[in-house]
Chain A
């Protein structure tokens, strides 16, 4: 297994501002992902964070709103830009430890509230 940490664990932000969430893994991984889990709902994939290239976004999510960085194989950031109350959610990063196993392991999440 791996130790996956996220910062911040929670935040309360004003609308119109941006928040950058960090995800750190204690081992090198090829695949890292960012998910959103809105209250009472299941997880929705935002994007795959690709090391050395632009992230791959799912339908309904765009780079201008959710810019992602992946500078190396252990770290990624997700920025939630120009926030509105609808962005209030839990944001989770996940990693795939074994290539092609498709088993994903999640960070503890970042609980974001936008007022």
Chain B
């Protein structure tokens, strides 16, 4: 079983749609969680950290369910510029494990 698993997609959605990505992790002692965004041929960029209480940043909402070892990212009102690969990242004592990423394409 992979340490961090994501639905690879691709997700193809129209502008304005709401889309949700899921991620599961195997290490129940994992301490911190992140979503990164990676554009084609670019480096990953931190999108948001994921807190136990859930957190929101504009159109983006991240949720953590420790009991189910599950993280989610919700994007509302999708924009063309949201097209990218979204990486789920799980940390245990500084050891960062990256998911393979979920590819999103937002179409006009």
Residues of A within 8 A of B (CB): 31, 33, 41-45, 48, 92, 102-109, 111
Question: Cβ of A108 and Cβ of B100 under 8 Å apart?
Answer: no
Among the listed stretches B51-59, B65-73, B75-83, B90-98, which one makes contact with chain A, having 4 or more residues with CB under 8 Å of it? B90-98
**Which residue, A45, A48, A103, A107, has most C-beta atoms of chain B within 10 A?**
A103
Q: Is the CB of A104 within 8 A of B96?
A: yes
B32 contacts A by Cβ under 8 Å = yes
Residues of A with C-beta under 8 A to B42? 108-109
A102 touches B43 (CB 8 A): no
Min CB distance, B6 to chain A, in Å?
Answer: 9
* Residue among B87, B96, B99 with the highest chain A CB neighbour number at 10 A: B96
In this assembly, does B49 line the interface, its C-beta being within 8 Å of a C-beta of chain A? Answer: yes
Interface size on B, as a range, is: 10 to 19
Interface residue ranges, B against A (CB under 8 Å): 31-32, 34, 41-46, 49, 87, 91, 94-96, 98-101
Residues of A contacting B: mostly: strand
A41 to B49, CA, bound (A): 22
B45 and A102 within 8 A (CB)? no
B90 to chain A, nearest CB (A): 10
Q: Do A107 and B100 have beta carbons less than 8 Å apart?
A: no
Q: List 25 A-B contacts (CB under 8 A).
A: A33-B96, A41-B100, A42-B87, A42-B98, A42-B100, A45-B95, A45-B96, A48-B94, A92-B43, A102-B31, A102-B32, A102-B91, A102-B94, A102-B96, A103-B46, A104-B46, A104-B96, A105-B45, A105-B46, A106-B43, A106-B45, A107-B43, A108-B42, A108-B43, A109-B42
Contact A42 B96 (CB under 8 A): no
Given the known inter-chain contacts A42-B87, A43-B44, A92-B43, please indicate yes or no for A103 contacting B101, CB distance below 8 A. no
**Residues of B contacting A108 with CB < 8 Å?**
42-43
Shortest Cβ gap from B43 to chain A (Å): 4
